[in-house]
Amino acid sequence: MFEATETFAKKLDEQDSLSKFKNEFYIKDNQIYMDGNSLGLMSKRAEEKLLNVMNAWKEFGIDGWTSGDHPWFYLSENLGEKVAKLVGAKPEEVVVTGSTTTNLHQLVATFFKPEGKRTKILADELNFPSDIYALKSQLKLHGLDPDEHLIRVKSRDGRTIHEDDIIEAMTDEVALIVLPTVLYRSGQLLDLKRVTQAANEKGIPIGWDGCHSVGAIPHDFHKIGADFAYWCHYKYMNNGPGGVAGLFVHEKHFGVEPGLSGWFGSDKQKQFDMEHDFTPADTAGAFQIGTPHVLSVAPLIGSLELFEEAGMDRLREKSLKATAYLMYLVEELLSDYNFTIGNPREDAHRGGHVCLEHKEAASICKALKDHGIIPDFRSPNVIRLAPVAFYVSFQDVYQTVLTIKKIMDDESYKTYKNERGIIA
């Protein structure tokens, strides 16, 4: 159904109802940005809203908390309501707060209640290091040895995790499960519904790390019965470097005491009573800790407008088509150069990026950058390519693969060292 020609890529762009959104982003001339899975690009709306909030500070000073277009006091909850639509949650189940890792700490501090022989946390051996560091340190805070109490489900192929293996590991020693929705390296999308259901049936609380899916894939966190979830907003959500993250807590847990309390988790009516007895909000807002990082939230106001206009389902549909086209082109044009596609092929098991493996991945990435194509390298051999629906066209996808072919043909990648830089 695809063709490996520029004319065909152009035709796909003409049929693409989202193509107009590319203009909403700052993209350098002659650059193709395939790294939105690490840091999403700046949109004009994000810039505008950041300036708007800066201006409220300039104009209102302290009164900016309750004045201006986006009063800061309610911003985390108001944006949470909007993000809730993207992740399939009720409006009060999501709040925009913290960072991925601090939110994980908060949620584990809240939901990990070791008792009797139920003392273990179940994770997987391919998860992002920060998540694992957080889980280990939470175990230590309980006086538990991570070597014994952190179970990491093994991968059968070094790239993916089998749902059967996760479910089999849900023994009566497990007190909490934390897993990624999409694996950051291979781009595998786990069957969230099946795994969550199994955890629910065994009465084990389960939380999902949505860093690599929120903004790329619609979720149904409420309906599938996830206990909690957390994610960053600087990847597919385009909220800018270090932009404030998000968390979901299922409404069945409203009223539980946050593991890490702070005054911004208060019932908003009571917060400024300044009592020493904490009255948590009866929403996911209870899991906030301190004063929101307003300037790092502001870009999200603009970015969310774009998500509302484009629609999460349409974004996913285009992303699937673009990753499918990318895989097709790799097979058609790069079959002579020892590349392996490391991500699962089926739509239901694929995230927003393609995982291209090659022995010389680091050199190839450097050569691509010098050709104006921004990939993402993950040691030792992974090139991640994310054709983000908002700002990567089908012609960009075609151009990317054609450029890889050129680099391989003329062997120009060999002039670069095959080792990673400081970042990636």
Ligand X SMILES: *Cc1c(COP(=O)(O)O)cnc(C)c1O
> Which segments are annotated as binding site?
100-101, 128-131, 209, 212, 234, 263, 291
Considering only 22, 120, 212, 222, the residue that binds ligand X (CB under 6 A) is: 212
Q: Report the nearest approach of ligand X to the CB of residue 131 (Å).
A: 5
Q: What CA–CA distance (Å, rounded) separates 132 from 254? A: 26
Q: Report the nearest approach of ligand X to the CB of residue 36 (Å).
A: 12
Window contacting ligand X (CB under 6 A); options: 77-85, 98-106, 168-176, 213-221: 98-106
Smaller CB separation from ligand X, 300 or 401: 300
Q: Report the nearest approach of ligand X to the CB of residue 242 (Å).
A: 8
Considering only 76, 99, 283, 363, the residue that binds ligand X (CB under 6 A) is: 99
Window contacting ligand X (CB under 6 A); options: 16-24, 141-149, 208-216, 314-322: 208-216
What is the total count of residues that contact ligand X (CB under 6 A)?
Answer: 12
Smaller CB separation from ligand X, 205 or 246: 246
Q: What CA–CA distance (Å, rounded) separates 103 from 344? A: 29
Q: What CA–CA distance (Å, rounded) separates 44 from 274? A: 39
Of 232-271, binders to ligand X (CB under 6 A) are 232
Q: What CA–CA distance (Å, rounded) separates 384 from 387? A: 10
Q: Report the nearest approach of ligand X to the CB of residue 91 (Å).
A: 24
Strands, sheet with 340-341, edge to edge from the N-terminal-most edge strand: 340-341, 354-357, 382-385, 376-378
Q: What residue numbers does the annotated binding site for pyridoxal 5'-phosphate cover?
A: 100-101, 128-131, 209, 212, 234, 263, 291
Q: Report the nearest approach of ligand X to the CB of residue 209 (Å).
A: 5
Q: Is 280 in the site for ligand X (CB under 6 A)?
A: no
Cβ-proximal residues to 9 (8 Å cutoff; 6+ apart), any chain: 325, 393, 394, 395, 397, 398
Q: Report the nearest approach of ligand X to the CB of residue 279 (Å).
A: 28
Q: Report the nearest approach of ligand X to the CB of residue 235 (Å).
A: 6
Smaller CB separation from ligand X, 119 or 181: 181
Considering only 211, 286, 289, 320, the residue that binds ligand X (CB under 6 A) is: 211
Q: Which of 50, 90, 87, 88 is nearest to 70 (CA)?
A: 50
Smaller CB separation from ligand X, 181 or 266: 181
N residues, the chain: 424
Considering only 100, 110, 188, 196, the residue that binds ligand X (CB under 6 A) is: 100
Q: Report the nearest approach of ligand X to the CB of residue 123 (Å).
A: 11
Of 114-173, binders to ligand X (CB under 6 A) are 128, 130-131
Are the C-beta atoms of residues 103 and 214 closer than 8 Å to each other?
A: no
Of 342-371, binders to ligand X (CB under 6 A) are none
Considering only 184, 339, 390, 413, the residue that binds ligand X (CB under 6 A) is: 184
Window contacting ligand X (CB under 6 A); options: 75-83, 207-215, 318-326, 365-373: 207-215
Smaller CB separation from ligand X, 18 or 195: 195
Considering only 52, 101, 279, 412, the residue that binds ligand X (CB under 6 A) is: 101
Pair of tokens at residue 42? 């700046």
What does the binding site for ligand X look like in residue numbers (CB under 6 A)?
99-101, 128, 130-131, 180, 184, 209, 211-212, 232
